[in-house]
């Protein structure tokens, strides 16, 4: 199985300041079809997960442009350009390149 | 509008069984793979199982292999998870999620999730 490792696991951020989360996979996430199925999800307290970014850098419908994704191969990053109060929650990277999908441990973003 | 609605959760004793359902609407259900994902209290997300849309192939996490069975009824747009030999560490909120579709456009995976159903395994 592919292991997804996130860092940091906790990220206290000042409102209006940027935040960055790293995700590393134990093997390449490039699929045989040429796509890299690395997604980022947000889970607000008491809510189901919500898709933010798919295929490394594509923002899902309705996601603010302060969220951006980057990376390639085995190293990926989610950036929030200016953190807002509504961004508090846990962020997960996940791979769906292999049928056995796997998630990172989650990174808790909170306001300082 | 895409909607996923899970049901069937509840309290069950260790060793018992439970069948979860996920009613889907707003998209061509039969064309999409569907996954189950669970979240133990205060813990992270754990993928459980997937069933493909084209040929109905199934895959499972090692933690549930041999105990859980995923299935689907495309005529009723419903996904199922049969859970047998339940253990305390199966206690979690179980989510169904819309997964992938075969084709050249490669639209997003896991773009829609249900609200979840709570399974509690305890004596």
Q: Which of A98, A99, A104 to mutate to test the interface with B (most CBs of B within 10 A)?
A: A99
Cβ within 8 Å, pair B47-A100:
yes
As a whole number, mean pLDDT of residues B6-11 equals 98
| Pairwise pLDDT comparison (B54 vs A75), residue with the higher score | A75
| Chain A residues in contact with B115 (beta carbon < 8 A) | 48
Q: In this structure, what token pair is assigned to residue A58?
A: 């594509």
Is the CB of A100 inside 8 Å of chain B's CB atoms? yes
Residue A97 confidence (pLDDT) above 80 = yes
Sheet (strand A75-80) strand order: A4-7, A19-25, A75-80, A67-72
Cβ contacts of A3 within 8 Å, gap of 6 or more: A25, A26, A102
For A9-37, the pLDDT digits (tens) are 999 999 999 999 999 999 999 999 999 99
Of the candidates B66, B77, B82, the one whose C-alpha atom is nearest the C-alpha of residue B20 is: B82
Residue A43 confidence (pLDDT) above 80 = yes
Cβ contacts of B55 within 8 Å, gap of 6 or more: none
pLDDT given at position B36: 98
Of the candidates B96, B92, B95, B97, the one whose C-alpha atom is nearest the C-alpha of residue B118 is: B92
Q: Which chain B residue lies closest to A9 (C-alpha atoms)?
A: B44
For B79-94, the pLDDT digits (tens) are 999 999 999 999 999 9
With bands split at pLDDT 50, 70 and 90, how would you rate the model's confidence at B122?
very high
Out of B95, B109, B113, closest to residue A96 by CB? B109
Contact B93, B113 (CB under 8 A): no
Sheet (strand B117-121) strand order: B10-12, B117-121, B92-101, B32-39, B45-51, B58-60
Out of A43, A90, A100, closest to residue B61 by CB? A100
**Of the listed ranges B6-10, B59-63, B97-101, the one predicted with least confidence:** B97-101
- Interface A-B: count of C-beta contacts within 8 A: 62
DSSP secondary structure string for all residues of B45-107: EEEEEEE-SSS--EEE-TTTTTTEEEEEETTTTEEEEEE-S--GGG-EEEEEEEEEE-STT-P
Of the candidates A38, A109, A44, A30, the one whose C-alpha atom is nearest the C-alpha of residue A77 is: A38
pLDDT given at position B105: 79
Residue B115 confidence (pLDDT) above 80 = yes
Cβ within 8 Å, pair B95-A1:
no
Cβ within 8 Å, pair A54-B108:
yes
Cβ within 8 Å, pair B47-A37:
no
Please provide residue A91's backbone torsions phi and psi, each rounded to the nearest 5 degrees.
-110, 135
With bands split at pLDDT 50, 70 and 90, how would you rate the model's confidence at B101?
confident
Cis preceding linkage at B58, omega within 30:
no
pLDDT given at position B106: 80
For B13-59, the pLDDT digits (tens) are 999 999 999 999 999 999 999 999 999 999 999 999 999 998 999 99
Distance from CA of B110 to the nearest CA of A (A): 7
Residue B104 confidence (pLDDT) above 80 = no
Cβ within 8 Å, pair A1-B114:
no
Distance from CA of A81 to the nearest CA of B (A): 23
| Chain A residues in contact with B112 (beta carbon < 8 A) | 51
As a whole number, mean pLDDT of residues A36-51 equals 97
**Of the listed ranges A17-31, A78-92, B100-114, the one predicted with least confidence:** B100-114
As a whole number, mean pLDDT of residues A102-106 equals 98
Average pLDDT, chain A: 97
Residue A38 confidence (pLDDT) above 90 = yes
């Amino acid at each position: 199985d592919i292991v997804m490792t996130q860092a940091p696991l906790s990220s206290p951020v000042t409102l209006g300041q940027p935040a960055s989360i790293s995700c590393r996979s134990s093997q390449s996430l490039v699929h045989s079809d040429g796509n890299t199925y690395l997604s980022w999800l947000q889970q607000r307290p008491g809510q189901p997960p919500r898709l933010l970014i798919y295929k490394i850098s594509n923002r899902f419908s309705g996601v603010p442009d302060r969220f951006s994704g980057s990376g390639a191969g085995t190293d990926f990053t989610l950036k929030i350009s200016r953190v807002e109060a509504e961004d508090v929650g846990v962020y997960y990277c996940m791979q769906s390149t292999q049928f056995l999908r796997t998630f990172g441990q989650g990174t808790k973003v909170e306001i300082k | 509008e895409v909607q996923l609605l899970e049901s069937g959760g509840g309290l069950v004793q260790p060793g018992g069984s439970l069948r979860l359902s996920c009613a889907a609407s707003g998209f061509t259900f039969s064309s999409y793979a569907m996954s189950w994902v669970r979240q133990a209290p205060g813990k992270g997300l754990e993928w459980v199982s997937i069933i493909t849309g084209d040929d109905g192939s199934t895959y499972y996490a090692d933690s549930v292999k041999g105990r859980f069975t995923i299935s689907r009824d495309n005529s009723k747009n419903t996904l199922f998870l049969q859970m047998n030999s339940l253990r305390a560490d199966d206690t979690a909120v179980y989510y169904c999620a819309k997964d992938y579709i075969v084709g050249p456009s490669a639209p997003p995976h896991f773009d829609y999730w249900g609200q979840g159903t709570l399974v509690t395994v305890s004596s």
